A and B are shown apart, each in its own frame.
Chain A
C-alpha cells in the first residue's frame, strides 16, 4: 500500500481534508508505527507547517502552547517548568524530541501521561475550526469530531500546587502502569480547590471526582486524607494487561495518591 502525504500551510486547510482515509500526523511517534506495520485504515497523511503549532505564549498566568510543541521543547521552556517533570517522563530522549503535546491527547493507554497532567490542570483545547473545549469534555467523548487541535491553554499553577507521579516498572524509561496528577490549592493549612487525575486507570485519563470531593477542606495528613484515598478508585476501569492486573492497579492507586498528597505537607 502506498501512502500519500499532503502538506498544508495552515491547520485550517489541513483540517478540512481530514476524515475517512486521511490522518493528521504530528510527531508521528504513534502514527508512523501504524504506517510501518501496514495499517490499512488510512492511506493519506496530512501535515501542516502552520507556525501556530510551535508557538508558546503567555497572557497573564495563562499559557497557550501550540499542539506541535514537543516534550523536549516543553522541558527547555522557562515558562513551562511546571510541566517539565511530566514531559521528562514521556519515553526516552529521542521520543521526547519527536512526541508532541497535541499527539499525547490522542494517545491510547498506557500512553497519555501529558494528557493526565493537563486534565488535572484543567487545560482547554483550541481547535483549528475555531472551537474551544475543555480537555475534560474532549476526553469524555471518545467519538469526538475529527478536527485538529491547534493549541492548548493552561493556567500556570501556584508554586507547589501541582504534583505528578508516573509509576513504571522500568527505570529510567518505561510506560506507565498508572499516572497520578494533582492540583491542590491550600487555604489556611486546609485544602481548597482540588483536581485529581489518573492515567492508566480507565481507557482515557480520568478525574477521580469522589476523591476530590472527599479532600475538599480536609487537613493534609494521614487521617485527613483517608476518605479521599478510599474513594479514589470510584468510577475507574483500570486495564488488565501485561503490565499489571486491574486488581493490582486498584490496590496501588490509593498508595501512590497518598505518597503524592503527603509529600507536599
Chain B
C-alpha cells in the first residue's frame, strides 16, 4: 500500500514524513520520526502512556490515525525540556520520586502539562481528574499529584 506524505509541527519543528495508511500516530512518531518519548503501553487507550498534545489538547496517540495530524501541532514529552534545562514538571517528578519504573511518566507529564497550560493553580482534585486516564502501577499516584502541585507553584513563581 502506498505511503502517505504528511506534514505537522512536532515540538515546534516542521516535520514531514511518509506514514503507513491506517498507521497510528504513536507508531509513526516512534518508528518514522524517531521520537521515542511517547510509550506504547496497551494499544487500547486504557493506560495513557502514549498521551501527546494535539493543538494543546491531550489525546492518545495510539488511537489517532496518523494521517489525521496533517497541519496540526503535536507536543510530546521529548520537547518539554529547553536544552539542558528540564521542564519544571519533569524536575518536580525527578525530585519528588514521582517516577519509579518511569513508563507512565511521559504520558503523565503531557496530561499534567495540558492541565497547567489551562489552569495555573489546580486543586488536588483537578489534578487527579486531569491524570485519570493515565495508569501508574508503581507510585500510588500521590507522589505524582504532589509533584504536579510543586511544579505549578514553581511555574507561578517564575512568571511573577
Contact = CB atoms under 8 A, between A and B. Distances in A.
Interface of A: 2-5, 25, 28-29, 32-33, 35-37, 45, 47, 72, 91-95, 97-98, 172-173
Contacts of B51: 94
Given A98-B64, A173-B132, A33 B43 contact: yes
A45 B65 contact: yes
Given A28-B63, A33-B43, A37-B43, A94 B111 contact: yes
16 contacts: A2-B1, A3-B22, A5-B67, A32-B45, A35-B22, A36-B62, A47-B65, A92-B133, A93-B111, A94-B45, A94-B48, A94-B51, A94-B133, A97-B57, A97-B59, A173-B133
Given A35-B22, A98-B63, A93 B132 contact: yes
A91 B129 CA distance: 11
Among A32, A35, A37, A45, residue most surrounded by chain B Cβ atoms (within 10 Å)? A32
B21 A3 contact: yes
B59 A4 contact: no
Interface of B: 1, 4, 20-22, 24, 43-45, 48, 51, 54, 57-60, 62-65, 67-68, 111, 114, 128-130, 132-134
Contacts of A2: 1, 20-22
Given A2-B21, A4-B21, A172 B129 contact: yes
A220 B107 CA distance: 47
A92 B63 CA distance: 14
B62 A32 contact: yes
Contact of A25 (B48, B58, B59, B65): B65
A95 B62 contact: no
Nearest to A43: B22
A94 B45 CA distance: 9
A25 to B, nearest CB: 7
B65 A91 contact: no
Classify the interface of chain B: helix, strand, loop or mixed.
mixed
A93 B1 contact: no
Given A2-B1, A3-B22, A35-B24, A93 B130 contact: yes
Nearest to A25: B65
A36 B133 contact: no
Contacts of A5: 4, 21-22, 65, 67
Nearest to B52: A94
Contact of B48 (A28, A32, A92): A92
Contacts of B129: 93, 172
A37 B57 CA distance: 26
B30 to A, nearest CB: 13
Nearest to A88: B129
Nearest to A37: B43
A5 B65 CA distance: 9
A43 B114 CA distance: 34
Of A4, A45, A93, most buried by chain B (CB within 10 Å of CB) is: A93
A47 B4 CA distance: 15
A38 to B, nearest CB: 10
Given A93-B58, A94-B111, 8 more contacts: A2-B22, A3-B1, A4-B21, A5-B22, A32-B63, A36-B43, A36-B44, A98-B60
A93 B133 CA distance: 7
Contacts of B20: 2
A45 B63 contact: no
Contacts of A47: 65, 68
Nearest to A32: B63
A172 B114 CA distance: 18
B40 to A, nearest CB: 9
B110 to A, nearest CB: 9
Contacts of B4: 5
- Complex A-B, nearest 3 residue pairs according to Cβ-Cβ distance, in ascending order: A92-B133, A3-B22, A173-B132
Given A33-B44, A36-B43, A98 B59 contact: yes
Given A92-B134, A173-B132, A32 B24 contact: yes
